[in-house]
A = this chain, B = another copy of it.
Amino acid sequence: MAATLEFFFDYGSPTTYLADTQIEALAKRSGAKLVYRPMLLGGVFKATGNRSPVEVPAKGVYMGADMARFAKRYGVPMNMNPFFPVNTLPLMRGAVVAQHDGFFAAYQKAMFRAMWVDEKDMNDPAVIGEVVSAAGIDVTSLLKRTGEQDIKDELKATTEEAVNRGAFGAPTFFVGDEMFFGQDRLEFVEAALSG
């Protein structure tokens, strides 16, 4: 039986974008079943008492350099979003809808790209609409769906599940009960999947 790799993510996290650029190929190499778990990072921070690294200015400066090193190593584009931090609640609810309604791959790619390559202001509903439309997704239908209670509840439940299993930030990976935090632990994730 193929191992399962759970990927807890939030579009507002730049290191999660880096992980997202690598995770599909990693799962394929490992023969693992990749399960995307949209969560609300703000909710995780609130529940655990954690905070964004950029709240320590020196850490924020360093993180920019550190992420650029990984982007270079991975050979992927990356730009810091000038509108960071972003309230990702509507975006993450959209991810839940996208999973249910069959356009997750396109949505995931569009969101991470808008945030961490194209530097879009994803706090602005009009900008979100443009990004979604450009990805070939029906905005009106998406907006309606993100307002539904079961979608809201599912995002909340996944966020609570992540916290209950030990998560305190993003990206967080699980291989069974083994948790890995950070895009810089993909090597250990891959080892766990092959172990």
User: CB within 8 Å of B: which residues of A?
Assistant: 48-50, 55-59, 61-62, 65-66, 69, 163, 166-169, 179, 181, 184-185, 188
Contacts and interface: CB of A to CB of B under 8 A. Distances in A.
Q: Chain A interface mostly helix, strand, loop or mixed?
A: helix
A194 to B, nearest CB: 15
Contacts of A48: 56-59
A167 B49 contact: no
B65 A179 contact: yes
* Tally of this chain's copies: 2
A168 B49 contact: no
B185 A62 contact: no
A64 to B, nearest CB: 11
21 contacts: A48-B56, A48-B57, A48-B58, A48-B59, A49-B56, A49-B57, A50-B58, A50-B59, A56-B168, A58-B163, A58-B167, A58-B168, A59-B169, A62-B168, A62-B179, A62-B181, A65-B179, A66-B181, A66-B185, A69-B188, A184-B184
A56 B51 CA distance: 9
Given A49-B56, A49-B57, A69-B188, 6 more contacts: A50-B59, A58-B168, A59-B169, A62-B166, A62-B181, A66-B185
Contacts of A185: 66
